Amino acid sequence: MKKFRFPEDGDVAADIRERYGFDGDLLDIYAGNEGVKVHKWHHYLPLYDRYFSQYRGTPVKFLEIGVNNGGSLQMWRRYLGKDAVLCGIDINPDCAQYDGQSGMVRIGSQDDPDFLAEVVKEMGGVDVVLDDGSHRMPHIETSLRVLFPLLTEGGTYMIEDLHTSYYPRFGGGYDAPTNFFNTVRHMIDDMHNWYHSKKKLAVPELAKEFSGLHIHDSIVVIDKAAVQRPTHSRVQN
């Protein structure tokens, strides 16, 4: 497994500004983080802002899979604002110490459908899911198929660190059928089922409710919206 690390004594903010042309509140929040540790790939910051800025200052119900050191939830609280309903889940019981600091923390597996459903119920619904959990192929699949149908209409589902799709120790591999990007390919086929003969949906839990897929390095973002049969017209005035 290749490792790409930024020097500990480097200027994080400068690196992100120079390499990605990104500046703003989220950069300041991340680069100026104090207290509990937060760890993010630098190219994620502008993507977070692109997809999550619409929720700033709103009572968004934001679920993050993976708590780790608690720094990510702290970042989201500072970025999204005081009205956001934040919940982090983690299988590690040590993460319970972060409950109530920046949001709720609940201990359980992202591979447990009953646990996931109970968390969403406690939150009062969910508008955004950010999967930064185990990064294991079966866990990503379970969480997506359980949580996406529970997502609010117009909501956003982001999965990060998907470079693990190519790592056998995470259940992936370049040619592995379990590589998550194969699910993404099937979703693209499902989206275009109007135009081909394979009418059996490959991912039926999602097919009628996702309106867009966005693929970036190690990140997939899925838009939640009712799917409408395409139509077209010719107009001449």
19-71 pLDDT, tens digit per residue, is 999 999 999 999 999 999 999 999 999 999 999 999 999 999 999 999 998 99
Rounded to whole angstroms, what are the CA distances from 16 to 34, 45, 98, 227?
18, 8, 28, 36
Say what the pLDDT of residue 197 is: 80
CA distance 201 to 141: 16
Q: Which two tokens stand for residue 200?
A: 């059996």
Tell me the average pLDDT across 163-189: 97
Mean pLDDT, the chain, integer? 94
State the helix-helix crossing angle for 137-147 and 180-191, rounded to 10 degrees: 30
Asked which of 100-104, 116-120, 131-135, 202-206 is least confident by mean pLDDT, the reply is 202-206
Tell me the average pLDDT across 73-90: 98
Q: What's phi and psi for 68, nearest 5 deg?
A: 55, -115
Say what the pLDDT of residue 5 is: 59
Residue 2 above 70 pLDDT? no
H/E stretch holding 214 reads strand 210-216
Rounded to whole angstroms, what are the CA distances from 197 to 190, 212, 232?
11, 21, 21
Q: Which two tokens stand for residue 39?
A: 């760890």
Tell me the average pLDDT across 161-173: 98
Residue with tokens 């009418």: 199
Q: Taking Cα atoms as reference points, which of 59, 58, 64 lies closest to residue 120?
A: 64
For the chain, what percent of residues have pLDDT higher than 70? 96
